[in-house]
Amino acid sequence: MPENDHAGVRPRTAVLTRGFDPSLSVGSARPAVFRSSTYVFESPEAAEHAFAITTGKIKLPPGERAALIYSRFSHPNAEILEDQIVPIEAGATDAAVFNSGMAAIMTAFFTFARPDSSIVYTTPLYGGTTGLIHTFMEPFGVHGIAAPAGDAAAIDEAIRTAHNCCIVLLETPANPTLIMTDIERAAEAASKNPSKPVVMVDNTFLGPAFQHPLQLGADIVLYSATKYLGGFSDMLGGVAITKSHEMIQRIRSRRIMFGNILQPDECWMLDSRLPTVSLRMNRQSKNAQRLAEALVGHKHLSNVIYPTLFQDAEQKRIYAKQCEFPGGIFSLEFAGGKPAAFEFLRRIRIAKNAVSLGGVETLVCHPRSTTHSGMSAHELAESGVTDGLVRFSAGIEDWRDLLADFEQALAGI
Ligand SMILES: Cc1ncc(COP(=O)(O)O)c(C=O)c1O
């Protein structure tokens, strides 16, 4: 069976056939939305049994599903979504859904972090995740150790020397500089550390279509489902995906405490977006590649950052090794710095000046003054998030209209 075996069908079929039984939704071809906050037990014994399973007092027999109890624990739409998302992440067995990407990252951190330990993470990192490490994890005694994305020797050394290392978090490609980190090598370094850190990869930029961290040795893949999975800039969501049932159960037990499960309506929406993730991402990647390559050499641009334009031999190697396509994000470096970048943003007409990414409409933002404004001056200087950098998330519009729009905006600088 190719890739994963999901009851004998391939992932693109499994995403449409797994996890949903129409007979449980009065025959409806699409799942009903189950908004109930609580579920009725058949008997007091059944209630006792359900709680014994949820609290881990007794083990669920293989193949059996725990009875529904209360929607903060789980609910039918979360169960359907979690079943349907597994086949589109190569190597996955289990998933847990959250009400934002940050909720997924935070819950994964609090599941595996220990007091007096450390997290090794690549920089740059999404600003919210950096903030989580500095303002929440560190005061709880979990020391954050930054290692420059793409610098394999520095990452190896950081993992080797980290005291009581509990987590290695890689964000690759890095937001917004697209610097890539070799997932397999970092996972190898983690496996040699006696503390056996859990390797997590924020796969928001290239997954699930173009990069498969679980197959490269990662333990947990994290998503802001707000981005490509959701795909229409109309909802927030997050996902943690693993190849270990035991790991997802530990994460779910924290989710029960934090109460940050994705709500039924959003599960239903996200569920309907999954079968088109690869279609959308393919088109977005093609658009981004055409635009980035067409803009190379423009007099107002000192750099166009995109995987097919990488100059560095190591970056080219990592891209060739672990990515199937270059993806829908590119960044432009304006020679005139922040004034030129802002002038461009004021002049664009089709693309929208907004943070976030992965939607069907093209979005453009200035990371240094927005998404990454919380980084220290030192982190900004080290990570390449400069004053003149503008990040693009290509949508599915006709790329020729987008190019004409960018050219007129550039001409006005
Ligand atoms: C790479 C990355 N990870 C995580 C997040 C956080 O996701 P959310 O906004 O859904 O909480 C973002 C948001 O921009 C992101 O870009």
CA–centroid distance, 189 to ligand 1, in Å, is: 26
Q: Which residues, 6 or more positions from 318, have their beta carbon under 8 angstroms from its beta carbon?
A: 150, 180, 181, 182
Residue nearest ligand 1's atom 16 by CA: 126
For 263, the token pair is 């709500």
225 CA: nearest ligand 1 atom: 10
Which amino acid does the sequence have at 132?
L
In CATH, the number for domain 88-276 is: 3.40.640.10
What is the reported pLDDT for 379?
A: 78
Cα distance between residue 197 and residue 166, in whole Å: 4
Q: Which atom of ligand 1 is nearest to the CA of 205?
A: 1
Q: Decide if 275 contacts 11 (C-beta within 8 A).
A: no
In the prediction, which pLDDT does 375 show? 79
Q: What is the pLDDT of residue 166?
A: 98
Task: Check pocket membership of 175 for ligand 1, CB cut-off 6 A.
Answer: yes
- The closest of 394, 9, 12 to 227, measured between CA atoms, is 394
How many residues in the chain?
413
Spelled out in words, what is the top-level CATH class assigned to the domain 277-411? Answer: alpha beta
Distance CA 229, CA 287 (A): 18
Identify residue 315 by its one-letter amino acid code.
Q
The alpha carbon of 224 and the centre of ligand 1 are apart by a number of angstroms equal to 5
pLDDT given for residue 255 in this prediction: 98
- Find the largest Cα–Cα distance for the chain: 74
Answer whether 238 contacts ligand 1 (Cβ < 6 A): yes
- CB of 226 shorter than 6 A to ligand 1: yes
The pTM for the full model equals 0.95
b vs e for 318-341, b when ≥16 Cβ sit within 10 Å of the residue's Cβ?
Answer: bbeebbebbbbbbbbbbebebebb
Question: Which of 175, 270, 370 maximizes ligand 1 atoms within 8 Å of its Cβ, making it the mutation to test the pocket?
Answer: 175
User: What are the DSSP E strand ranges found in 282-322?
Assistant: 301-305
Ligand 1 and 224: CB distance under 6 A: yes
- The confidence score (pLDDT) of residue 5 equals 55
User: Ligand 1 within 6 A of 266 CB?
Assistant: no
The crossing angle, in degrees rounded to 10, of helices 399-411 and 337-347 is 130
pLDDT of residue 2: 42
User: Does ligand 1 come within 6 angstroms of the Cβ of 173?
Assistant: no
Roughly what angle, to the nearest 10 degrees, separates helices 76-85 and 264-273? Answer: 20
Residue 241 has phi, psi (to 5 degrees) of: -125, 135
Distance of CA 132 from the midpoint of ligand 1 (Å): 12
Q: Which of 220, 227, 363, 392 for a ligand 1 pocket mutation test, highest count of atoms within 8 Å of Cβ?
A: 227
DSSP class of residue 356?
Answer: -
- Ligand 1 centre to CA of 338 (Å) is 24
CA–CA distance, 407 with 413 (Å, rounded to integer): 10
Cβ of 101 below 6 Å from ligand 1: yes
Would the CB of 106 count as within 6 Å of ligand 1?
A: no
Residues 6 or more apart whose CB falls under 8 angstroms from that of 408 comprise 347, 349
The residues spanned by each domain of the chain are 88-276, 277-411
CA angle 389, 393, 397 (to 5 degrees): 135
- Three-state secondary structure string covering 260-280: CECCHHHHHHHHHHHHHHHHH
Instruction: Pick from 99, 226, 385 the residue to mutate for probing ligand 1's pocket: most ligand atoms within 8 Å of its CB.
Output: 226
Q: State if residue 359 touches ligand 1 by the CB under 6 angstroms criterion.
A: no
Q: For the chain, 413 residues long, give each residue's pLDDT as a single digit of tens.
A: 344 456 688 888 888 888 888 988 889 999 999 999 999 999 999 999 999 998 888 888 777 788 999 999 999 999 999 999 999 999 999 999 999 999 999 999 999 999 999 999 999 888 899 999 999 999 999 999 999 999 999 999 999 999 999 999 999 999 899 999 999 999 999 999 999 999 999 999 999 999 999 999 999 999 999 999 999 999 999 999 999 999 999 999 999 999 999 999 999 999 999 999 999 999 999 999 999 999 999 999 999 999 999 999 999 999 999 999 999 999 999 999 999 999 999 999 999 999 999 999 999 999 999 988 887 888 787 778 999 999 999 999 999 999 999 999 999 99
Ligand 1 centroid distance, CA of 208 (Å): 15
